[in-house]
Chains A and B, each alone.
Chain A
């Protein structure tokens, strides 16, 4: 029976939090540290201290860009970006609301389109994101139009046979 946070993280990510001796190399190299509240090193400490609430309601776990700079620099080979993924999944399964709403919205839309079509479909993801996000509607309109005019946002989704087996995998993982 898994019941402490470090074990749950280990189960999902394969990473051993206890190996961290807080050298701060992860935090020193993190490209989005300026926007975070704690940073990767402190998040690891908080996992060890079982501080679920502040971790799961922090924006840090959603701000991680998944660049793996921390994973490459960690002297103890902890893949901290994979730990962040595990913490996102755990926060959702414990019913927390993602504190970076637009980052989460993008993931949800992308995931939904993938479940339906088996492949990404930019027109739907970008269109819905425009309408549902907290950002001004006018943002990125020029870039979006530029992509569209260059034939880079096809209107119709690919109709592939993979849609069915992919949909089945989504059903199974629920």
Chain B
């Protein structure tokens, strides 16, 4: 091993607070993901310290166009997180993927690291662990702790967990859950009482990156996913990516549409958080009929 490589950090559980990177989507098309994430962590009694003055991670255009910027943009965010010495959590799967890949590159490519450090104006310490919000909730809280907070178990709500791509792939970079048969979201959803349906499409791509450029291709991908979900008897999809969520709700071809929840919305609903009501009206596909049929809506 190259002497200049910085080894991967051993994960230490830091539950008092996390550094928080919402990413651009959570201020726009993924509003309710940000709102529900904040509400759930407030309820868990753990602080999310939003990085001051963060910038876009560049997904998914920067890595298509410019190799250096694709690493420099997320590196600036890692630089902002370093002084806090907390785990850096982000809800967005695409942001997570870019941040984690940048962390991986800075650890393993000393040459590029020197260039990026110069460009961003910092020295990479490797002390910040980049994690998806889902990992923080699943790994840092026990099932019993979560169950104790459940006021309204989601009994009768039939969902399929949909991960999409960037939370788990490529596994060498993401290092989260199983890339072919992931279990974390299903376990979380079962913990809060939801009925999790089995399906084999949890990590199939929905094509969000091509949603504007090739809507014809994307409509096929989304259509197939929703069809498979419906075959299991599910009433809704559970997601963890703002690009997937808006793509799934926007590119569904059928008339009989299926809503896509953020998994944090479902946690908030099960915890009985009053602000949950405001999240539903942010959806392009109104999820309230599904909630009513599962007797989860007032």
Residues of A within 8 A of B (CB): 12, 14, 31-32, 34-35, 62-63, 65-69, 71-72, 77, 79, 81, 85-86, 88-89, 92, 100, 102-108, 110-111, 114, 118-120, 122, 126, 129, 133, 135, 139-140, 143, 146-147, 150-154, 158, 160-163, 165-166, 169-170, 172-173
Contact B55–A105 (Cβ < 8 Å): no
> In the complex the two chains form, is A77's CB within 8 Å of B65's CB?
no
The CA-CA distance from A62 to B24 in the complex, in Å, is 23
Say if the beta carbon of B3 comes within 8 Å of chain A: no
With A67-B165, A146-B284: A85-B64 Cβ-Cβ less than 8 Å: yes
In the bound complex, residues from chain A placing their C-beta under 8 Å from that of B294 are: none
| Closest Cβ–Cβ distance, residue B245 to chain A (whole Å) | 11
**Are B214 and A119 in touch, CB under 8 angstroms?**
no
Contacts known (A72-B180, A111-B62, A152-B282); A173 close to B68, Cβ less than 8 A: yes
Q: How far is the CA of A100 from the CA of B169 in the complex (A)?
A: 25
B145 within 8 A of partner (CB): no
Q: Min CB distance, B92 to chain A, in Å?
A: 11
Count of residues in B whose CB is under 8 Å from the partner chain: 59
Q: Report the separation of the CA atoms of residues A119 and B284 in the bound assembly, to the nearest whole angstrom.
A: 24
Residue contact B215 to A114, C-beta cutoff 8 Å: no
Given contacts A154-B27, A160-B55, 12 further A-B contacts (CB under 8 A): A12-B67, A100-B214, A102-B212, A108-B65, A120-B24, A120-B25, A133-B212, A143-B284, A150-B283, A150-B284, A151-B282, A162-B76
B180-219 contacts to A, CB under 8 A, are 180, 203-205, 207-210, 212-215, 217
Q: How far in angstroms is the closest Cβ of chain B from A116?
A: 11
Are A173 and B72 also in contact (CB < 8 A) when A114-B58, A118-B55, A161-B53 are?
A: yes
Least Cβ–Cβ distance between A144 and chain B, in angstroms: 9
Give CA–CA (A124, B54) in the complex, Å: 20
Q: Is the CB of A79 within 8 A of B213?
A: no
16 contacts between A and B (CB under 8 A): A32-B210, A65-B165, A66-B64, A66-B209, A100-B214, A108-B65, A114-B62, A119-B24, A119-B55, A119-B56, A143-B284, A160-B53, A165-B76, A169-B69, A169-B72, A173-B72
Interface check B171, CB cutoff 8 A: yes
Does B85 have its Cβ within 8 Å of any Cβ on chain A? no
- Evaluate contact between B212 and A129: CB separation under 8 angstroms: yes
Q: Which B-chain residue is minimally distant from A105 (CB atoms)?
A: B213
Bound form: Cα–Cα A39–B80 in Å:
40
Q: Are A173 and B207 in contact (CB under 8 A)?
A: no
Once the chains bind, are A68 and B28 in contact (CB under 8 Å)?
no
Q: Kindly name the residue among B121, B166, B169, B250 whose own CB sees the greatest number of chain A CB atoms within 10 A.
A: B169
Q: Which chain A residue shows the least CB distance to B63? A: A85
Name the B residues within 8 Å of A62 (CB-CB): 213
In angstroms, how far is the closest chain B Cβ from the Cβ of A154? 6
The verdict on A68 contacting B213 (CB below 8 Å), with A120-B56, A162-B55, A173-B72 known, is no
A141 to chain B, nearest CB (A): 12
How far does the alpha carbon of A69 sit from the alpha carbon of B205 in the complex, in Å?
8
Complex contacts, B68 vs chain A, CB 8 Å: 173
With A65-B207, A72-B180 as contacts: A32 and B217 at CB distance below 8 Å: yes
CB distance from A124 to the nearest CB of B (A): 12
From B205, B221, B250, A143 is in contact (CB under 8 Å) with: B250
Q: Which residue of B lies closest to A115 (CB)?
A: B69
Judged by a CB distance under 8 angstroms, whether B256 is at the interface is no
A103's nearest neighbour on chain B, judged by CB, is B213
Q: How far is the CB of A33 from chain B (nearest CB, A)?
A: 11
Q: B281 within 8 Å of A by Cβ? A: yes
Q: Is the CB of B214 within 8 A of A69?
A: no
Chain B neighbourhood of A126, CB < 8 A: 212
CA separation between A58 and B210, bound complex, in Å? Answer: 16
Q: Is B136 an interface residue (CB 8 A)?
A: no
Whether B119 lies near A169 (C-beta < 8 A) is yes
Assess whether B254 is interfacial by the CB under 8 Å rule: no
Known: A152-B282, A162-B54. A69 touches B210 (CB 8 A): no
One of A111, A135, A166, A169 near B65 (C-beta < 8 A) = A111
Given contacts A79-B170, A152-B282, contact A111 B61 (CB under 8 A): yes
